[in-house]
């Protein structure tokens, strides 16, 4: 892994590791779908301004390319958010994080399905070790009392959301391989995603009016600028540079950042299981990162 890819990787992991903490300040004030729409719309506006100021006018793209970018927007910036929020109604955010770690499996399988890239056993070995580690991070023997039906529903939504994220990753890789600038595709994708999110919230009977407080506004700005606009530019460039499978290793590591923040704020206590989990996550991630990205390109 060269220095540029390493910088993209570490930046993505660090920023997305803060997402769950920032989202806490979004919950309860306004309907989730409304908050998601404003987050995506604000991110789209920011990147649109950046594109016009530094990259100039948007290039003329074919209708087919716009269709693919619209899919990118639906997969990466709208449907996945709603499905993850549906999942958290039934299962804990910790379990959602564990399920989301399976992104690397879906990316490897979709990479094979859409790009005919070979599957490597080390991907599944490293990912399995890391996912077990993530499970240990959230494991609490005295709190296992999940209703089976609730668990299945929540896990189903989380798996569906994760697979949709993987389709977004594959779409981003396809656009990059066909010469579409990452900033251009991300900006337009966010615009299409905002439209999908707007339709979704209107179908749910919500209005665009929101209640504002300082914490809500600051977290919305942070989520829009850093966790959406900047983070996706970094991540999609990571996909372009290293391939979809290696890029997905980020999904194995950013829960560690989230855990660290929760520990600092007094919301998480480390146990023996936690330390074993951290070791497993690092070990599994190193196995995946050692594979190299040449086989994906």
CB 73 within 8 A of CB 198: no
Q: Is the pTM of this model over 0.85?
A: yes
Q: Are 49 and 229 in contact (CB under 8 A)?
A: no
Distances (CA, A) of 32 to 27, 39, 47, 279: 7, 10, 23, 35
d(CA 53, CA 184): 13
Q: Provide the 3-class DSSP secondary structure of residue 276.
A: helix
What pLDDT shows up at residue 291?
Answer: 66
Residue 250 and residue 16 in contact, taking contact as beta carbons nearer than 8 Å: yes
| Spatial distance between the Cα atoms of 184 and 170, rounded to a whole number of angstroms | 17
Burial of 127 from C-beta contacts in 10 A (0-12 / 13-18 / 19+): buried
Residues 269, 272: Cα–Cα separation, whole Å: 10
Provide the CB-side half-sphere exposure for 294 (13 A, CA): 4
Please tell me the distance from the alpha carbon of residue 222 to that of residue 45, in angstroms, as a whole number: 14
- Per-residue b or e along 211-229, where b marks 16 or more CB atoms closer than 10 Å to that residue's CB: eeeeebeebbebbbbbbbb
The parts of the chain modelled with pLDDT lower than 70 are: 1, 141-147, 291-297
pLDDT value of position 294: 45
Interacting residues of 235 by C-beta distance below 8 A, sequence separation 6+ = 8, 12, 16, 247, 250
What is the model's pLDDT at position 295? 44
Tokens of 202: 């209107």
């Amino acid at each position: 892994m060269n220095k540029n890819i390493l910088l993209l990787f570490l930046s993505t992991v660090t920023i997305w590791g803060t997402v769950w903490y920032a989202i806490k300040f979004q919950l309860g004030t306004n309907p989730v779908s409304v908050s998601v729409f404003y987050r995506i719309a604000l991110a789209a506006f920011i990147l649109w301004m950046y594109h016009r100021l530094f990259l100039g006018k948007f290039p003329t793209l074919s209708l087919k390319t716009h269709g693919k970018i619209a899919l990118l927007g639906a997969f990466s910036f709208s449907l996945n958010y709603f499905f993850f929020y549906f999942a958290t109604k039934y299962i804990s955010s910790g379990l959602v994080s564990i399920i989301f770690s399976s992104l690397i499996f879906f990316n490897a399988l979709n990479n094979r399905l859409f790009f005919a890239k070979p599957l490597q056993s080390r991907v599944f070995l490293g990912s399995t070790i890391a996912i077990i580690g993530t499970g240990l991070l959230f494991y609490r023997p005295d709190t296992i009392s999940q209703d089976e039906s609730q668990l299945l529903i929540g896990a189903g939504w989380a798996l569906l959301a994760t697979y949709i994220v993987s389709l977004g990753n594959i779409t981003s890789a396809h656009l990059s391989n066909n010469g579409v600038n990452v900033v251009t595709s991300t900006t337009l994708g966010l615009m299409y995603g905002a439209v999908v999110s707007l339709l979704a919230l209107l179908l749910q009977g919500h209005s665009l009016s929101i209640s504002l407080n300082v914490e809500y506004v600051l977290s919305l700005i942070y989520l829009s600028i850093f966790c959406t606009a900047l983070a996706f530019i970094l991540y999609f460039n990571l996909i372009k540079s290293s391939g979809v499978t290696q890029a997905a290793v980020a999904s194995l590591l950013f829960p560690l950042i989230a855990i660290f923040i929760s520990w600092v704020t007094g919301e998480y206590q480390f146990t023996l299981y936690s330390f074993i989990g951290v070791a497993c996550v690092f070990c599994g991630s190193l196995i995946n990162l050692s594979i190299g990205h040449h086989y994906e390109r």
